[in-house]
A and B are shown apart, each in its own frame.
Chain A
Amino acid sequence: SAVISQKPSRDICQRGTSLTIQCQVDSQVTMMFWYRQQPGQSLTLIATANQGSEATYESGFVIDKFPISRPNLTFSTLTVSNMSPEDSSIYLCSAKGQGATEAFFGQGTRLTVV
C-alpha cells in the first residue's frame, strides 16, 4: 500500500483565482491520477498525471483549466485555474504501483469557490 498526503485539505477561494493542490506519495508509484467528487457521489477522473510529460485528460477536462505537473515518481500537483463556483468540489489524488490492481487515495481537498 501507499500513503498519500494531499494539501491543502480544504480551502475557500475567490472566483477568478487559481489554487494548486499538492499530492505526495510515500513510495515510488507508476501511475498517479486526479479525480473530482461531489459530496456523497462517485468519482470522476480528471486526468492521469504522467511523469515528465503532459498529463492525459479525460473528456470534458482541459489542460488550460486543470494544469497538472508530475516532476517525479512521488509528487504531483493539480491547479484549478480561473475558478468559478461550479469548481466547488472535492479533489482527490490517487496512485497505483507497477502492475497493481488497487489504487490508493489521499484524503482529498475540499474546495469552495465564492
Chain B
Amino acid sequence: TQLLEQSPQFLSIQEGENLTVYCNSSSVFSSLQWYRQEPGEGPVLLVTVVTGGEVKKLKRLTFQFGDARKDSSLHITAAQPGDTGLYLCAGVVGGTSYGKLTFGQGTILTVHP
C-alpha cells in the first residue's frame, strides 16, 4: 500500500493548458514537499508546505496543503514545454519534520509545443 497516492501518473498536454496533480494520504504529514526531476538529474525542491490550508505560489505553479494535512495539490497555469518532467510529492509522516521522506508514485508531465 502506497502511503502517498499521487495522481495522475501520466499527463500529456498542449502548451497553454492548465493542469493539476494530486497527492493524497490517509496519514497526517508534518509537511509536504514537491519536487521536479528532469532526466539525468536528481529531484529539485520546488516548495514545502507546512500549515493546513496553506497556499503557495511559484510563478505559474500553485501549491495547496489540505486543511487536515493529509493531501496536497500542484496546479500549473498555462503550461510550457519547459515544465516537462517528473513531479514528485513527498512528506514526513507524523508530528515531526525530522525523519525520512515518503514519496508518491510521481507524475510524468509532457507539455507539447
- For residue B50, which residues in chain A have a CB less than 8 angstroms away from its CB? 101
| Interchain CB contact under 8 A, A42 and B97 | no
| Interchain CB contact under 8 A, A107 and B33 | no
A101-B31, A105-B43, A107-B42 as given contacts; A42 in contact with B88, CB under 8 Å: yes
Q: How many A-B residue pairs have CB under 8 A?
A: 58
| Interchain CB contact under 8 A, B41 and A108 | yes
What number of B residues sit within 8 Å (CB to CB) of A?
A: 27
Residues of B at the A interface (CB closer than 8 Å) are 6, 30-31, 33, 35, 39-45, 48, 50, 86, 88, 90, 92, 97-98, 100-101, 103-106, 108
Q: Which of B31, B40, B108 has the most CB of A within 10 A?
A: B40
Residues of A at the B interface (CB closer than 8 Å) are 1, 4, 6, 31, 33, 39-43, 45, 48, 92, 94, 99-108, 110
| Interchain CB contact under 8 A, A43 and B103 | yes
